[in-house]
């Protein structure tokens, strides 16, 4: 296990390249199962989760060939080919490492009519049920049993189009059902579908592969099932959460940073909230420039499905608000346990009170460096952001959490002036 050491107080300045979106790539890669032709994904980020997803697909018989980055792109190019599916089982030892493995369920059912996928189980931020995934696939005609921690699904005679109305918005369930519906017999309607940009990315890729989807970007997706899909080449969208995270990093240091490749139109409420907090965003050629003219102001925000303020940005915003003038009230409505960064921020001198799903953050003049522990992906980034502004050297341990979602983080931050190093951690 490694640790990251950050000496705070340096103003971040310069240019930083935004990588391809982890949460788009983790849905696009399983889509390769839907055809026996090659699917080439460009701008793929180098992340632990992407490697885990590739390893799982290899176990199912999908070949994955990675080429180096194109000269004009940061990300890798990966060609995936499911010429023949040699296994329809996603084993526990892989799924437990990455919950998004559940996204092979829909494509396997659509392609092979059978799938055995380990139930992902919960994670640090919540118990993460998959009932909406399963109900949606059953509506398409799948027979599903839960046995010994596995989902055993079968679609004898193939899947049939259906109308599916989700009671609550679920990104993963929308993705699983969508990837099953594109090869189902007949038409499907998915109502109360998630509208996250990553869903739009998946829809666009599936259409490039020959799928027939309308209502893309809305909460009502209409799918006309087709008998087969063909290969395609598709560029993964830039990571909007990485963009928001580095915007918070730039802002907490009063810096001036250009986020290359950032796309304002996929940022939803993130930009509006950060602007309310005193951060400025300016469109520049090929990206977004982030500056902060005056002090930071406290905000009142609750997380919500897209285009609301993303739950994946809550911890990072909290770190920024720790040093704002005045108080902030943040309410986490999506996951039940997404405040594990709070006690760690408190060790750095933050003044935060959690009551139920809300956290009251009272701004303090400065944070103080401290040894802190990463607990989950976005909480880890929250501690890095705080460390960039804290007086002294902050040591963030268990940074493997960061490696799941932030490509070459130390390199990117050092490139804009942060005093940051990664060292091996002998500790437990
Ligand atoms: C995706 O997770 C993202 N992960 C998460 O990002 C993100 O936080 C989340 O969407 C919300 O935006 C990937 O895309 C790989 P959900 P997902 O299904 O699909 C409940 C990160 O940091 N629910 O939209 O698992 C669930 O408990 C990660 O990058 C059910 O009740 O999220 C939650 O309360 C963390 N039953 C809510 O819905 C279900 O069957 C939203 O979850 C499914 C979900």
Per-residue H/E/C for 118-179: ECCCCECCECCCCHHHHHHHHHCCCEEEEECCEEEEECCCCCECCEEECCCCCHHHHHHHHH
DSSP states along 212-268: EEESTTSSEEEEE--S----EEEEPPB-HHHHHHHHHHHHHTT-EEEEET--GGG-T
Atom 18 of ligand 1, nearest CA residue:
170
164 CA from centroid of ligand 1 (Å): 18
Q: What's the alpha-carbon Rg for the chain, to the nearest Å?
A: 21
How many other β-carbons are positioned within 10 Å of the β-carbon of residue 137? Answer: 29
Cα 321 to ligand 1 centre (Å)? 25
Please state the rounded mean pLDDT for residues 371-375: 94
Identify which of 216, 218, 132 has the alpha carbon closest to the alpha carbon of residue 173.
132
Residue nearest to atom 35 of ligand 1 (CA): 312
pTM: predicted TM-score of the whole model, two decimal places: 0.97
Write out residues with Cβ below 6 Å of ligand 1. Answer: 23, 26, 100, 126, 128-133, 168, 170-173, 194, 311-312, 334-335, 377-378, 405
Is it the case that residue 125 has pLDDT exceeding 90? no
Residue of minimum CA distance from atom 28 in ligand 1: 312
pLDDT for residue 427: 67
Match 């009272």 to its residue by tokens: 362
pLDDT for residue 124 is more than 90: no
How many C-beta neighbours within 10 Å does residue 165 have?
12
CB burial of residue 282 (10 Å; 0-12, 13-18, 19+): exposed
Asked if residue 23 lies in contact with residue 171, where contact means CB atoms within 8 angstroms, the answer is: yes
pLDDT digits (tens, 9 = 90+) for 77-118: 999 999 999 999 999 999 988 999 999 999 999 999 999 999
Give the model confidence (pLDDT) of 130-159 as tens digits: 999 999 999 999 999 999 999 999 999 999
Beta carbons of 58 and 33 less than 8 angstroms apart: no
Calculate how far, in angstroms, residue 403's C-alpha sits from the geometric centre of ligand 1.
19
Question: Mean pLDDT score of the chain, rounded to an integer?
Answer: 96
Tell me how many helices (H) and strands (E) the chain has: 14, 24
pLDDT value at 265 more than 70:
yes
* Burial 389-418, CB ≥16 within 10 A → b, else e: bbeeebbbbbbebbbbbbbbbbebbeebbb
- What ligand 1 atom has the least distance to the C-alpha of 133? 40
CA distances from 420 to 74, 158, 238, 370 (A): 21, 53, 24, 14
Q: Which ligand 1 atom is the nearest neighbour of the CA of 26?
A: 15
Report DSSP state, residue 32.
G
* 43-75 confidence digits (pLDDT tens): 999 999 999 999 999 999 999 999 876 666 678
Mean pLDDT on 254-258: 98
Task: Taking residues 410-419, report their average pLDDT.
Answer: 97
Distance 285 CA to ligand 1 centre (A): 33
| Banded pLDDT at 1 (limits 50, 70, 90) | confident
Mutate to test the pocket of ligand 1, among 20, 26, 29, 128 (most ligand atoms within 8 A of CB): 128
80 within 8 A of 39, measured Cβ to Cβ: yes
CA–CA separation, 4 and 248 (whole Å): 18
Which residues, 6 or more positions from 397, have their beta carbon under 8 angstroms from its beta carbon?
Answer: 1, 3, 371, 372, 373, 374, 425, 427
Q: Is 123 a catalytic residue?
A: yes
If you take atom 8 of ligand 1, which residue's CA is the nearest one? 312
Mutate to test the pocket of ligand 1, among 172, 176, 381, 401 (most ligand atoms within 8 A of CB): 172
Distance (Å, rounded) from C-alpha 142 to C-alpha 343? Answer: 44
d(C-alpha 320, C-alpha 249), whole Å? 8
Distance 132 CA to ligand 1 centre (A): 11
Q: What is the pLDDT of residue 219?
A: 98
The fraction of the chain above a pLDDT of 70, given in percent, is 98
Tokens of 72: 């004009």
Atom of ligand 1 nearest to the CA of 198: 14
Residue nearest to atom 19 of ligand 1 (CA): 172
Can you tell me the mean pLDDT for 280-290?
96
**Has residue 403 got a pLDDT over 70?**
yes
Q: Whose CA is nearest to atom 17 of ligand 1?
A: 172
Q: Is the pLDDT of residue 298 over 70?
A: yes
Query: To the nearest whole percent, how much of the chain has pLDDT over 90?
Result: 92
Q: What is the mean pLDDT of residues 201-215?
A: 98
Output the furthest CA–CA distance in the chain (Å, rounded).
Answer: 65
Cα(182)–Cα(107) distance, integer angstroms: 9
Question: What per-residue confidence (pLDDT) applies to 127?
Answer: 83
């Amino acid at each position: 296990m490694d640790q990251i050491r950050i000496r705070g107080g340096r103003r971040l300045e310069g240019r930083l390249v935004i990588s391809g979106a982890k949460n788009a790539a983790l849905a696009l890669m399983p889509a390769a199962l839907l055809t026996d032709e090659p699917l080439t994904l460009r701008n793929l980020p180098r992340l632990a989760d992407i490697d885990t997803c590739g390893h799982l697909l290899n176990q199912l018989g999908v070949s994955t060939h990675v080429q180096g980055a194109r000269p004009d792109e940061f990300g890798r190019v990966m060609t995936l080919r499911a010429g023949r599916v040699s296994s329809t089982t996603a084993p526990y030892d892989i799924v437990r490492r990455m919950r998004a493995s559940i996204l092979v369920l829909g494509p396997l059912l659509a392609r092979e009519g059978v799938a055995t996928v380990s139930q992902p189980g919960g994670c640090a931020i919540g118990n993460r049920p998959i009932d909406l995934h399963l109900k949606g696939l059953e509506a398409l005609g799948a027979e599903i049993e839960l046995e010994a921690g596995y989902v055993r699904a079968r679609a004898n005679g193939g899947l049939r189009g259906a109308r599916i109305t989700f009671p609550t918005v679920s990104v993963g369930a929308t993705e699983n059902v969508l990837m099953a519906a594109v090869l189902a017999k007949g038409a499907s309607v998915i109502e109360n579908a998630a509208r996250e940009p990553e869903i739009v990315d998946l829809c666009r890729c599936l259409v490039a592969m020959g799928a027939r989807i309308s209502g893309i970007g809305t909460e009502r997706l209409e799918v006309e099932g087709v008998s087969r899909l063909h290969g395609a080449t598709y560029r993964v969208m830039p990571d909007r959460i990485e963009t928001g995270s580095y915007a918070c990093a730039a802002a907490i240091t009063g810096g001036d940073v250009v986020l290359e490749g950032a796309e304002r139109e996929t940022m939803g409420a993130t930009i509006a909230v950060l602007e309310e907090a005193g951060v400025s965003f300016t469109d520049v050629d090929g990206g977004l420039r982030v500056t902060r003219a005056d002090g930071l102001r406290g905000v009142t925000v609750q997380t919500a499905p897209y285009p609301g303020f993303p739950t994946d940005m809550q911890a990072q915003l909290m770190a920024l608000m720790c040093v704002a003038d005045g108080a902030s009230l943040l309410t986490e409505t999506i996951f039940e346990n997404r405040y594990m960064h709070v006690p760690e921020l408190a060790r750095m001198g933050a003044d935060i009170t959690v009551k139920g799903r809300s956290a009251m953050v009272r701004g303090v003049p400065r944070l103080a460096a401290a040894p802190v522990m990463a607990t989950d992906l976005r909480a880890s980034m929250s501690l890095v952001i705080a460390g960039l502004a804290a007086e002294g050297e902050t040591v963030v341990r268990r940074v493997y959490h960061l490696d799941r979602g932030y490509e070459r983080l130390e390199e990117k931050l050092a490139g804009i002036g942060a005093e940051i190093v990664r060292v091996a951690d002998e500790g437990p």
